[in-house]
Chain A
Amino acid sequence: MAEPSHPGGRRPGWQALDRGQRARPWEWVAEQAIRVVSVTAIVLVFLIFVFVMREALPVLLGRVNSAAAQERRALPVEQMDRLDPEELRQYLELSRKEFAEMDRDTLRLLMEVKLEAAEEVPEDKDAPLNTAAWRYLLGPHQWTGYDRPAYIWQPVSSIHKYNIVPLIVGSLKTSVVALLFAVPLALAAALYVSQLAPPRLKEWVKPGIELLAGIPSVVLGFFGLVVLATFLQQVCGYASRLNAFVAGIALGLACIPVIFSIAEDALTSVPRSFSEAALALGSSRWQAAWQVVLPAAVPGVFAAIVLGFGRAVGETMVVLMASGNASLLTWSVFDSTRTMTATIAAELAETVFGGHHYRILFLLGALLFAVTFLSNLLGELVIQRLKRRLEGGR
């Protein structure tokens, strides 16, 4: 056969080797672009930690004062002209933008409001308290008008009461109801689909559960609020139509796909040889599933529950719509309940940027972030270890 000519029409000597990377400047540019985009994206992702913490940090460090009566005395309205604009702005606690937008009459009005507020407030013995301090955030306090120490979340009142315990308990209550409802159902379904169901049924069930996962949480919230609440009230006959129980059930619907898919994955990853060995010893399919496969996949089941908890605690729209949103500290799941997520969702829009209310809501966000991030990490680690063990054992 004749020697075919070189495809490029040329046949460079080995000298071409020494052209080096300089030969392709555009590729170099493109690869640098990839690097820049990626590093930016990764930094942006890490900025989430930074920005949520940044807004919450002053509260954590105790640098926020939310006392209704501050040290500074209220000034009479006539003194308005003696202050220079910057002093006036600070006195009225306005942002630069707000200040620039206001005309003289509005400012005058604000001065009056401030004066009135100052005259009203000192009658309350709690007015000088910095309610954003840790002991008021977490501990009970006997507020004016209460007959005993209580945990109160009441940010929009003359005394800003910022006790976050009712919200934490609310989040836990709804999450626990959700898990009690979702875990048995999802685990049983995972066991059925992975071990017992005929394969053809499997092909129907899994897309069905994916469909459930695809329902937006606002729709689940709507369903809880409009359909489930009435139905459950008729069945159970409790007083408050919207409560932790209703929200928990609706929330459970959001958790089922999460728990199911992780548990099913863990159960499927148990090598077939395990259950085949059990079947060969004469156990039935359900015995193999219950006594061999499930124990081998227990860490995966645990991880599924942990990740399901993360989903439940962090869910917003469902609880915002179906839990009733009264920030009462009770242990009954049939009382109207307010969670951390719903509090942020309902109140943040009305807060002053950078104010104490704003910062305490960010503190709640940071807390949620930490809890869900850690529970995810835990779940993820457990799953990885389980998979490594099962693969090693094969």
Chain B
Amino acid sequence: MEYKATKQGYADALKELGHENEKVLVMDADVAKATLTEQFEAEFPNRFFNCGVQEQNMLSAAAGLALEGFIPFASTFGVFATCRAGDQMRSSIAYPKLNVKIGVTHCGISVGGDGASHQSNEDIGMARTLPNMTVIVPGDYEESRLATHAAAKMKGPVYLRFGRDKYPVVPEIHGSFEIGKAKTLREGTDVTIITTGILVNEGLVAATTLEEKGHSVRVVHMHTIKPLDTEAVLKAARETKGIVTAEEHSILGGLGEAVAGVVAENHPCPVQRVGVMDTFGESGQSQELLDLYGLRAPNIVEKAMKIIS
């Protein structure tokens, strides 16, 4: 299996956008080497603005650039954009519905060695609760690239979430990309696995395991958390016995709660959530943390069996 960083998809798309659209600007807050926006800087030094270690000013200044007609991609780590500069995301960008793209990397538990201070397991929840905010969590390198292009095309604030590590390339999710439109990767009738972000591969592996046991599994990849593809969720609720959600994020506030809310109000069915429990993370290797915090295919299988049996 091929592994590639989702943040590289972001960086590559930014370079492509740099050539396509002169209104595209990139900002960073002293993590350009880590977010990989330094690659944009290398090609477009006059359209790159390193704000230093000041995420709050960066997001509000990005709002200012959007007011002047530019399309700024403000980049930092997920935990800083949402927790450090949450007010600026809310008041400067989301409330006036400005055309700012917030591209964040190092999200989820898999940031690894830096530990809890840098592991953003709450950011989807924070971004999702802001009115006007679109929230996209791509599943692999290529989808990250496509999502970044799509974000540039749409008018309005977008939160784009990427990881630090290299993650499996998942050809099933390549091709077209439409914001708010989930991708059904497998059809099935017993249970539906809804994935977001890098857990898409775990979802597919889990589905294979379940199929080998004779179960019919649907896999829906929900790259856009907001606006949520409620049609795909309700179709799954109607046509299968229940739903397992899988995300590299807290079980609070993210995909799991978004799906559960839609289902509970419209077509109640069992929902099981795979994600980080209500806890802070710790330092470790990216891959071992995914194991430790229960974000793997077997964890999804276990939850699915609760629904099937």
A binds B: no
Using a CB–CB cutoff of 8 Å, the interface residues on chain B facing chain A are none
Using a CB–CB cutoff of 8 Å, the interface residues on chain A facing chain B are none
